[in-house]
A = this chain, B = another copy of it.
Amino acid sequence: MPTKKRIMNAAGEIFGQDGFKAATIRKIATAAQANVAAINYHFRDKQGLYLAVLEDTFSKGFQRFPADGETDNDKGPEQRLRTFIHKMFYRFLSNEGWGGISGRGKLIAREFFEPTPAFENIVETYITPHKQMLVSIIAELSPDKADKDKQLACAISIIGQCVYYAFASPIIKRIAPAFMPTQQNLDRLADHVFLFSLGGIQQINNTDITTIDILETP
């Protein structure tokens, strides 16, 4: 494998594990069995390497697991929601997600939390369209298709659940080991999120938010 690719693979894992700042180019270079200076040669600087890895990750991720299966367009919204969620789980947690390099899910989750300048572009190119798709699926499941706010809120609830599995696996391991995401139970977890969210959407649609008596602030 050429040096450049070896570096990118190692970088994806290490950036994901340690974060941009804590990761060192020396650690990456060692893991890639390359010279430290090679990184600067190929990617100009640390930031350049990070950018390259991030872009590569998203591009490969959405290429490998596109948000909408092509054949899904003629299916009902329920099935499309289910597919959408499964794909998200696969992108984040599958061994083949995000370019087939393990550890890259963490890289993404980290950008959600503390975005680098590199993220702006990613949001525009990948995330916004992806979100739109989810919102439109939810709209199809809703009687009042015009209530964008409700749909958006539901979208966030769904994404939140998915990301939590990629994001908080250390704590899940501690408080609910059976739900640690593994290659084996990915489908089961995704199906739970799917069902839970389906119920959630219906509940939101059936409730007039103003009917909730205001809770005394704690």
Contact = CB atoms under 8 A, between A and B. Distances in A.
Interface of A: 18-19, 21-22, 65, 69, 82-83, 86-87, 90, 106, 109-110, 112-115, 123, 127-128, 131, 149, 152-157, 159-161, 163-165, 167-168, 170-172, 174-176, 178-179, 187-189, 191-193, 195-204, 206-207, 209, 212, 214-215, 217-218
A contact face: mostly helix, strand, loop, or mixed: helix
Contact of A163 (B18, B127, B131, B164): B164
Protomer copies: 4
A17 to B, nearest CB: 8
A60 to B, nearest CB: 15
A115 B197 contact: no
A171 B126 CA distance: 12
